[in-house]
Structure 1
Amino acid sequence: MGETTPAVPELILGGLPTLVAAVTVIWALARRRAAAHRRLARPTAACALLSLMTTVAVTPHTGAYLKLVEAGLLLPLIAAVARWSPLRELRIAVPLAALAVAAWPAPLVNGSFLERTGVASFWLLPALAAAAIGGYPRHVEQRRRTAVTAARRAQRLQLSRDLHDFVAHDVSGIVVQAQAARFLAPTDPGQAVLALERIEKAGLNALEAMDRTMHMLDDDQELASTSHRPPGIAQLPTLIDDFTALSGTETRLHLPPSAAEAFTLAAPEAGALAYRIVAEALTNIHRHAPRTPRAEVRFSPSPTGMELRVTNEPPDTPSSHPRRPTALRRRGGRGLVALTDDVRARGGTLTAGPHGEGGWCLTAILPLSTSPTKEPKKRPKEPKLPKEPK
């Protein structure tokens, strides 16, 4: 006859993991703060190791009901660890606890290795379900944090691009005119006064651009989309005139009526992007070629949309023309890089490089998507009245 009544030491040893798991669960329930739950990985791993040791050490049928209770207590611990614990500790505690839950009935099976493996696989399913129950909210929260981080980064990038494209252009003009006023004040006070007027205008434009950018971050999207729209094709003549007055570079705009009509029919974002490209190109002329005598902005239809070319001639030598004050020199920023990304996002291309003998050329191909328009509602036909008898 086999031994049917377990010895007291073996019974105590078999019940020790159950007691430790019960204490851990009670402690976790008493500590409702998330900071306490993040410290559950190590106690859970200790419970799992005790469970595995007793599963191997004690004889079969020694406290089998206690092992079942122990497995039931490990399941909520697995869910809590999968939900709250750090990843480094989670990767150790959860597999150990799952193995302990799967292995507890193996000594009770008097069969082949394959049968024991099947029983262990069956009991592994609740452990995997507990890990999934705890890990799903963690995954959802992580996705939410990633989405919020990406949205904030996109918002910061958009803010920096708007400040660079619009404000930097006006600030460069202010610097040029301030240097010109200082240069002309001793000999021609009248021109210095005109330069101060242009500085005032450029400063007001910069404040308007900053105000528009701030409204883009406002919660009132309707206000931002109606009264603070970014400039587009219609504002290009003013931009060209201001640039010519500020820099002294003769700048010509070639905008055929067909091209202007195409931008009018396209989405508003296309015209705003074209304005930003021209503003960036003129700002770079301010910084890198302040003595260039002529520049040209040309729009022409292309098979894939609209081609925009901004070219400038090589700067004059100091001996051919009087020396003009130069704009503030800075290291190259990310203006063209950001614009290239925006153009590519719309399915177009943007390239910049040397042109002719010492000149520079920026070329952009802008696909023009049609702006959605509402079809006019057809008026219902009025019912015909019966003719009066004669």
Structure 2
Amino acid sequence: MISKLSAGYGPSLALGAVLLLVASVRGAPAAGTLLGVGVLLPLLALTARWSPRPWAWAGCCLGGAAVAYWPVSLMPDAGWPEAAGAALFWALPAAGASGAGAYLRRQAGRSRRAVVEARREQQLELARDLHDFVAHDVSAIVVQAQAARFVAEQDPRHAVAALERIEAAGLNALATMDRTVHALRAAGGGPTAPTPGLAELPALVGRFEGGVLEADPVALAGLSREADSTAYRVVVEALTNVRRHAPGAALVTVAVRRAGAGIELSVANSAAQGGGRGRWARRRSGTGLEGLRGRVEAAEGTLTAGAVDGGGWLVRAVFPAVTAPQG
């Protein structure tokens, strides 16, 4: 309904402006032309606000000219300075009405762009969630399935254990998808699901073959909610990179400890067995972690990643502590 009305503002303004100009040139009574001016001023504001840009420009220029010329037609014996002054005086309300409509149009455009940007950011957030969490569980499923295929004939018990890990990773992937759906519902005003944090770290590391957790309980409780969620994402991404690019690593140590006035999180893996793939990984590792760097910095932390002596890889993040460490 509004769009149909807005489409008619420009033509109505142009028609009204032409009629007012004709009436002014032909010497119509002042009362009638003044009534026309009173109709054109709100039409100027409405056209500047709602009409398509071509109609808005054309209608406002024509309407402004008609309003400015109205007093000139009533001063046939006036000199050009007086006529110009009268035209300028009446052009001011026309310009004010057009400017008010243009301002409201601009504000509405900013609001639309803000909504689009917010939706885009939300889409990127969901994409990051899928990358950070689902990719970790899917890579675990692939690795365990490959392991089960190789050991199924020689040692069925190990195959059963691998299948159990596959089941656990699949359930975690489903849980992540549920969180994504909850996030979509939250965008529409629905309930939200809690974001995983370091409290889930023991279960996460326990599902990772060769993973060892060294966590200071005080340090685990010393992060803000944003830093806690971001730290968990860092661990997930680091473990995913180990599984993808250094599957031969015998040991992966995840440590959370106090570091001065902050909390240090580190994920270190030993050198990969089978050399070639590990070297390839070192050239390509870090793409996902680079995506997390902005999150870590937003939580007032720092993130570094690089090779260590002996051929392993270390990911290290430091966050400010919410409360002063005890002890």
- The answer to whether the superposition gives a TM-score over 0.5 is yes
CA–CA distance in structure 1, aligned partners of residues 53 and 198 of structure 2: 53
Name the aligned partner's letter for residue 144 of structure 2. Q
Specify the alignment match of 1:209 in structure 2: 176
1:76/1:191 Cα in 2 relative to 1: closer, same or farther (>3 Å)?
same
Aligned to 2:233: 276
CA positional deviation for 1:165: 1.8
Relative distance call for 1:99 and 1:205 in structure 2 (3 A) is same
Pair 1:349–1:117, CA change in 2 (3 A): farther
Question: Deviations 1:339-362 (Å, cap 9, x if unpaired)?
Answer: 222222222232334444654332
Partner deviation per Cα, 1:326-381 (whole Å, 9 max, x = no partner): xxxxx9897434422222222223233444465433232323446xxxxxxxxxxx
Q: Which amino acid in the other structure matches residue 253 of structure 1? A: L
- How far the C-alpha of 1:43 sits from its partner, in A, is 5.4
**Cα deviation, residue 111, structure 1:** 5.2
- Matched with 1:41 is 10
Larger radius of gyration: 1
**Which of 169, 174, 185 is 2:152 aligned to?**
185
Task: Give the RMSD, CA atoms, in angstroms.
Answer: 3.5
Task: Please list every run of 5 or more consecutive structure 1 residues that lacks an aligned counterpart in the other structure.
Answer: 1-31, 245-249, 324-330, 371-390
Matched, 1:295 2:252: yes
In structure 1, distance between residues paired with 2:135 and 2:96: 57
Residue 100 of structure 1 aligns with which residue?
66
1:285 is matched with 242
Query: Counterpart of 2:51?
Result: 85
Asked if 2 retains the 8 angstrom alpha-carbon contact of 1:180 and 1:192, the reply is: yes
Match of 1:149 in 2: 116
Cα distance, 1:317 vs structure 2: 2.5
CA distance 1:233–1:99, change in 2 (3 Å): same
Q: Is the 8 A contact 1:251 1:295 kept in 2?
A: yes
Taking a change above 3 Å as real, the CA distance of residues 311 and 98 of structure 1, as seen in their structure-2 partners, is farther
- Residues 304 and 120 of structure 1: is their aligned pair in 2 closer, same or farther, counting only changes over 3 Å? farther
Q: CA deviation at 1:241?
A: 1.8
Q: Distance in 1 between matches of 2:202 and 2:240?
A: 16
Q: Deviations over 1:204-237 (max 9, x none)?
A: 122222223323343598963xxx4232222212
Tell me the secondary structure at the aligned position of residue 63 of structure 1. Answer: coil
Q: 1:119 aligns with which of 86, 94, 101?
A: 86
CA distance in 1: counterparts of 2:270 and 2:18, whole angstroms:
78
User: In the comparison of the two structures, how many residue pairs are matched?
Assistant: 315
Deviation of the 1:238 alpha carbon: 1.9
Change in Cα spacing, 1:105 to 1:355, as seen in structure 2 (3 Å) is farther
Task: Label 1:346 to 1:209 Cα distance change in 2 as closer, same or farther (>3 A).
Answer: same
Contact 2:71 2:87 in 1 (8 A): yes
The partner residue of 2:222 within 262, 265, 276 is: 262
Quick one: distance in 2 between partners of 1:236 and 1:124?
70
> Which one has a larger percent helix, Structure 1 or Structure 2?
2
What amino acid maps onto 2:55 in structure 1? E
Native 8 Å contact 2:182 2:190 kept in 1: no
Shift of 1:286: 1.4
- The structure-2 alpha-carbon separation of the partners of 1:35 and 1:356, relative to structure 1 and needing over 3 Å to count, comes to farther
Distance of 1:298 and 1:366 partners within structure 2? 14
Amino acid at match of 1:233: L
Offset at residue 192 of structure 1 (A): 1.0
Question: What CA distance in whole angstroms lies between the structure 2 residues aligned with 1:67 and 1:302?
Answer: 81
**2:314 aligned to 361, 364, 380, which one?**
361
Distance 2:28 2:322 in 1: 74
Distance 1:261 1:69, change over 3 A: closer
Amino acid at match of 2:71: P
